[in-house]
């Protein structure tokens, strides 16, 4: 791997995204719109918005980054761009890390805007530091990027890439503790939730919501999310293909 080649890949992807205003609107605008909508849905119960809204600051980045990353990477393969790049002296690790850096830059903007709007315009009430909430949101966005890069290797079309959402993302949303405490679920579902990374992202958000100090559980949760994201990125580098079959 080469830092120069990785940065060159990241710059190229950022230039392409910069010429796609609809993608930028999806990345930056949709989470804000959903948070505002959620705020008014729970207007009569601000405490419920605090609980659900803080968790969704982790869920929204994962969903949007998964969609955009998987489709954009697949488009590079189907257009032949990826095949041409891999004939040059550039490794799969350089490409995967370059994609992750480029989409990660947008993840920083997305998570920062969503966190700022939730805290200072929608009056999301948390006991902990806003910076910890932002860290958890960024790591969840990185997980979405990693999952998107990984599944793009197994999709033959953009439609198939979107179809991976019900298989990989929706079960995590249902089992992460957003709708019901995980320890109140059936044992088999609780065990499943314990191995799904989004559960730890939601737990990290909950720790910031209810604790003014940084807790050991918070660090455990963010380390788990980070390790899973890095592991999936490594798998993405291994499974990266030149073209779509």
**Per-residue pLDDT, 85:** 64
Average pLDDT of the segment spanning 208-231: 91
CB atoms under 10 Å from CB of 142, counted, come to 25
CA 14/CA 79 separation, integer angstroms: 17
Q: What is the pLDDT of residues 187-218, one digit of tens each?
A: 999 999 999 999 999 899 889 888 888 899 99
| pTM recorded for the entire structure | 0.86
Does residue 98 have a pLDDT over 70? yes
> Which tokens hold the place of 126?
């948390």
Does residue 110 have a pLDDT over 70? yes
Cβ atoms of 170 and 67 within 8 Å: the answer is no
Sign of the four-CA dihedral 208, 214, 215, 217: positive
Q: What is the pLDDT of residues 39-64, one digit of tens each?
A: 888 888 878 888 888 888 878 888 88
Q: What is the pLDDT of residues 138-176, one digit of tens each?
A: 888 889 888 988 888 777 777 777 888 888 888 998 998
Cβ atoms of 147 and 168 within 8 Å: the answer is yes
């Amino acid at each position: 791997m080469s830092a120069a080649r990785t940065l060159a890949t990241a710059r190229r992807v950022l230039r392409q995204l910069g010429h796609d205003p609809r993608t930028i609107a999806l990345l930056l605008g949709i989470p804000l719109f959903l948070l505002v909508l959620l705020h008014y849905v729970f207007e009569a119960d601000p405490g419920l918005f605090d609980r659900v809204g803080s968790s969704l600051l982790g869920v929204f980045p994962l969903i949007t980054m998964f969609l955009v990353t998987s489709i954009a990477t697949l488009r590079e393969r189907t257009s032949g761009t990826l095949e041409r790049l891999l004939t040059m002296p550039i490794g799969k690790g350089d490409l995967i890390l370059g994609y992750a850096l480029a989409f990660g830059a947008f993840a920083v903007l997305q998570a920062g805007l969503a966190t700022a709007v939730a805290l200072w315009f929608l009056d999301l009430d948390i006991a902990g530091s806003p910076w910890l909430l932002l860290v958890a949101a960024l790591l969840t966005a990185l997980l979405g990027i990693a999952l998107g890069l990984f599944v793009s290797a197994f999709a033959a079309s953009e439609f198939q890439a979107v179809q991976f959402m019900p298989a990989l993302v929706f079960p995590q949303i249902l089992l992460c503790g957003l709708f019901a405490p995980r320890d109140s679920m059936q044992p088999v579902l609780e065990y499943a939730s314990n191995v799904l990374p989004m559960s730890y992202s939601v737990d990290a958000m909950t720790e910031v919501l209810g604790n003014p100090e940084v807790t050991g559980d918070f660090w455990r949760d963010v380390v788990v999310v980070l390790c899973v994201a890095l592991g999936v990125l490594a798998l993405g580098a291994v499974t990266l293909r030149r073209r779509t079959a």
